[in-house]
Structure 1
Amino acid sequence: MAAMAQNVLGGELETCGTDPMTGFFRDGCCETGGDDTGVHTVCSRVTAEFLEFSASRGNDLRTPHPEFGFTGLKPGDRWCLCADRWVEAHEAGFAPSVVLEATHAKTLEWVNLDELRKFAV
């Protein structure tokens, strides 16, 4: 049996969100693997400011893309963000809050736990 993925707190990775369905594998979890070049590991509760910031960086998460089963995000939705995008948003002052129990441990390669705790839901 495969080991369960760990969150940044050292516990079992919890579900981030299922409405809309998030995660690189679209299973609701911020799990990652070799094909996930974006490293979608940060479970965030997105804000209007973050969505605007992301769109300004070329990744419009607000616009629905039904051809991919994507309904678009609105403020308050939980979404697995790329670790480097969360760091970029943090450095620009637009980082959304983080659900630590649902944020994959691999995120710690980009940002330390003390910093993540400042944004914990």
Structure 2
Amino acid sequence: MPGPQGYAMSYNNVAGGKLMPFQKEPPVGYFRDGFCRVTDEDKGNHSVAAQVDKGFLDFTKSKGNNLDKAGVKPGDKWCLCAHRWQEAMKAAQDGQLAKESVPQVFLHASDKKALDIVSYRDLKTYAAEAENNNSPRQGSHQSPENSQSIAKDSQQIGGRGPTDAPGAGKNQAKNGSQSDTSANRG
């Protein structure tokens, strides 16, 4: 089993990047190492990095999983079983659970194994606010449902946006070749 530094290099998240640490104190995850990583040992697929509230804790308790015994309280971050997260989402769709009680997902810290159970679209729909804002996270975001699209913020790519100085960039021809438009003005 690789050490904590090896996790980010050998496990991927649901967005197609490297799996990032989620919650080290108190330690979460199947291995209680701060990562929501899944191995063959984890038969419950504890892959969804999420923040829970009282509504969800009551819901999962009604299903026979009392997270109170593990010390989980409303507002805590926890690595949830993908099946239970999906069950909560469906219960909210059916009106059996308040929509705001579906645990908010941290995509960068959710193991790609979650996608064996639940769709990326559903996880993204319930992404934590920090995932949808300009929070510090990986430079690229890839939807596994559309492996051809990678979106990067223009500030991350070159530091400048569409207001670059005239004649200071490269043009790309239709055939994919690039030509330098910078001229020696000296």
Between 1 and 2, higher relative CO (CA 8 Å, sep ≥ 6) is seen in 1
After superposing on structure 2, the runs of 4+ consecutive aligned residues of structure 1 that deviate more than 4 Å are none
Normalized against structure 2, the TM-score is what? 0.58
**Worse overlay, 40-49 or 109-118:** 109-118
The residue number in structure 1 matching 2:121 is: 114
1:33 alignment partner in structure 2 = 39
Q: How does 1:16-27 map to 2 (within 5 A)?
A: 16-27=22-33
Greater CA radius of gyration, 1 or 2?
2
What whole-Å deviation, never above 9, does each CA across 1:53-106 have from its counterpart, x for those lacking one? 01111111123xxxxxx4x11111110000111111111114211000000011
* Aligned-CA RMSD value: 1.5
Aligned pair partner of 1:58 in 58, 64, 67: 64
Aligned with 1:10 (options 16, 22, 37):
16
Q: Structure 1: which 5+ residue stretches go unaligned?
A: 64-69
The one of 91, 94, 104 equivalent to 1:97 is 104
Q: Give distance in 1, aligned partners of 2:86 and 2:121.
A: 14
Given the alignment of the two structures, is residue 77 of structure 1 paired with residue 76 of structure 2, yes or no?
Answer: yes
Of all paired residues, the percent bearing the same amino acid is 42
TM-score normalised by structure 1 residue count: 0.88
Distance 1:95 1:109 in 2: 19
8 Å CA contact 1:20–1:77 kept in 2: the answer is no
Alignment partner of 2:79: what SS?
strand
Shift of 1:34: 1.1
Shift of 1:38: 0.3
Once the two structures are overlaid, the 10-residue window that deviates more, 100-109 or 87-96, is 87-96
**How far off is 1:46 after superposition?**
0.6
Residue identity matched to 1:97: Q
